[in-house]
Structure 1
Amino acid sequence: MTNQAVCLTLIAPRELREELFDYISEQTDLVTGFTASDAAGHGVRVRLRSAAERVKGHADEVVVRIVLQENDSERLLERLRSAFAGTKLVYWVVPVTAFGVID
């Protein structure tokens, strides 16, 4: 594990949106901010939870992206595994080669 910047992406059912946002916002020792957007989940592993989703053919989901240090992403993932056990929260981590603010 290095201290390189990474982007942690989380995919969750839209019904978990507020709970997930609140939880991430409380992790102030690891997370300074995040970006979220709505998404349509497709694929054989995607669970269509409602009749409306089955009619539409996709799951209503939320995508959360957090840029943080790799070791902090591992700590956050451990917390998420505990807090959101059984929710089928999907995640991936990719390196960030540059990150900043254009002022």
Structure 2
Amino acid sequence: MSKYCLSLVCPPTAAEALLDLLLESEDSDVFTSSHVHSHSASHAGLSTREQVMGRSQAVLVQVLMGEDALSALIERIRKNFAGVGIRYWASPVAIDGEIK
């Protein structure tokens, strides 16, 4: 089965709810989260400070999952987080494993 890394960039205000959704999901193998800066030419929704800095605070969540679960999870996120402004993309994973 093919695996994918789903990357989600979300506003900090939505991060806990997104992490909760992923913790309740049985479709993901593992996921990580980290605080990042998001850069975009669009200034919609940015504070004056963020516009001056040219970046906004965001949380990057990366989820490792099988191909079958990918579309279902994206649809769940789309349904539960409509209007939040979560950006996403998926990349195929060439290899994964665990070193014990």
Do the structures match in fold with TM over 0.5? yes
Instruction: State yes or no: 1:9 paired with 2:7.
Output: yes
Q: Displacement of 1:87 after TM fit?
A: 1.1
| Cα distance in 1 for residues equivalent to 2:51 and 2:12 | 15
Q: Displacement of 1:46 after TM fit?
A: 5.5
Per the alignment, residue 94 of structure 2 pairs with 97
Q: Say what the alpha-carbon RMSD is for the aligned residues.
A: 1.6
| Cα distance in 1 for residues equivalent to 2:18 and 2:43 | 19
Question: Structure 1 pair 21/92, CA: closer, same or farther in 2 (3 Å)?
Answer: same
Listed as ranges, the matches of 1:1-103 within 5 Å are: 3-27=1-25, 29-45=26-42, 47-103=44-100
Which consecutive unaligned segments of at least 5 residues does structure 1 have? none
Question: How many residues align structurally?
Answer: 100
SS of match in other structure, 2:42: coil
Offset from partner CA, 1:36-82 (integer Å, 9 cap, x none): 11111112135453344234331100000011101101110010010
TM-score, normalising length: structure 1: 0.86
Aligned residue type for 1:10? L
Aligned residue type for 1:63? L
Percent identity between matched residues is: 32
Aligned residue type for 2:14? L
Contact 2:35 2:57 in 1 (8 A): yes
Aligned residue type for 2:98? V
Q: Displacement of 1:7 after TM fit?
A: 0.4
